[in-house]
Amino acid sequence: MIKVKLIQYTKDPERVVAMAARLCYSPIGAEELAEKMSDAQVEKLVDKIVSLGHASTLEHVSFTFAIEGVSRVLTHQLVRHRIASYSQQSQRYVSEHDFEYIVPPTVSSTPGAQAKFDALMEQIRVVYDELVGLGVHKEDARYVLANAAETKIVATFNARSLQNFFALRCCNRAHWEIRELADKMVKQVKHVAPLLFKNAGASCVATGHCPEGSMTCGKLAEMLKLRDL
C-alpha cells in the first residue's frame, strides 16, 4: 500500500508567493513586503496569480514528500518529472533479500494470475540470494530483480512543478499506481496551501475541458464534480 507523507514545505508558502509577485511592482524590499501584506491581500493576490496562470512565482516554494510502498515501475515514471529532486533507496547498497513487491490490481483480480505472479517473485528472491551467496555483488545481483520490487523515495517539488505533476498524473489515463500517489499528494498540499492548489488535479479539473482529444476517458463531468467537493 502506498504511503506518502508531506514531511517538509516552505513556511507560509502562500505569503512567500504573494510577496514575490508583489515585489515585481514595488519600490520596497521583499522582507518589508512580507511583513506589511495582510492575509486578505495575500489571499487576493494568490487567487489572481493562480487564476491567470502567472506561475513563475510558485517556483519560490517547495514541498518534500517521503514515499514508500511503491514499485520501481512508479519511480521510473516519477523521475521523468525533471524539475524536482529525488533520493531513492539504492538496490546497489541495500540488500533485496526477501524483497517486498507490488501486485497490480489486474493481477490480483484475474483468476490464477496472482499465483503465477507470486511464484515468479519467490523464484527471483531465491536466485537473488543465491547470486549474492556465490559472491556476486549486490549491484550486479540486482539485475534479476523485478520492476514490481518495492522501493522508497524522497521527492521535492516546487509548487509550479507540482501543479504540472498533478495535471498529468491525476488524470484517469495515467497509470493506476502513480495516479494513486498523485491523488494522495494533492490532498496533502491542499491542506497546507489551499489557495495555491485550489484547482490542482487533472488538467480537466483546472481548465474545465479535457486535453486528451479522442483519447479522453469520457468522465469530464465526474471529474468536475470532484473539484467542487
Q: Is 90 annotated as a binding residue?
A: yes
Q: Quick check: helix, strand or coil at residue 83?
A: coil
Q: Is 79 annotated as a binding residue?
A: yes
Q: Could you say which of 22, 72, 169, 179 is catalytic?
A: 169
Which of 6, 33, 2 shows the shortest CA–CA distance to 20?
Answer: 33
Grid cell at residue 45 = 493576490
Q: Is 164 annotated as a binding residue?
A: yes
124 near 146, Cβ under 8 Å?
yes
Q: Is 202 annotated as a binding residue?
A: no
Task: Round to whole Å and give the CA distance between 1 and 75.
Answer: 15
Q: Is 76 annotated as a binding residue?
A: no
Helices (runs of H) and strands (runs of E) counted in the chain: 11, 4
Q: Is 142 annotated as a binding residue?
A: yes
157 near 200, Cβ under 8 Å?
no
Asked if 169 is an active-site residue, the reply is: yes
200 near 189, Cβ under 8 Å?
yes
Q: Is 85 annotated as a binding residue?
A: no
Q: Is 91 annotated as a binding residue?
A: yes
Task: Find all residues with CB under 8 Å of 226, minimum gap 6, and list them.
Answer: 201, 205
Q: Could you list the beta-strand ranges (E) of 14-103.
A: 62-71, 84-88
Q: Is 89 annotated as a binding residue?
A: yes
Q: Is 78 annotated as a binding residue?
A: yes
Q: Is 173 annotated as a binding residue?
A: no
Task: Round to whole Å and give the CA distance between 55 and 206.
Answer: 14
Q: Is 8 annotated as a binding residue?
A: no
Binding residues for dUMP: 77-80, 88-92, 142, 169
Binding residues: 56, 77-82, 88-92, 142, 158-160, 164, 169
The annotated binding site for FAD is made up of 56, 80-82, 88, 158-160, 164
Any idea which residues carry the catalytic annotation?
A: 169
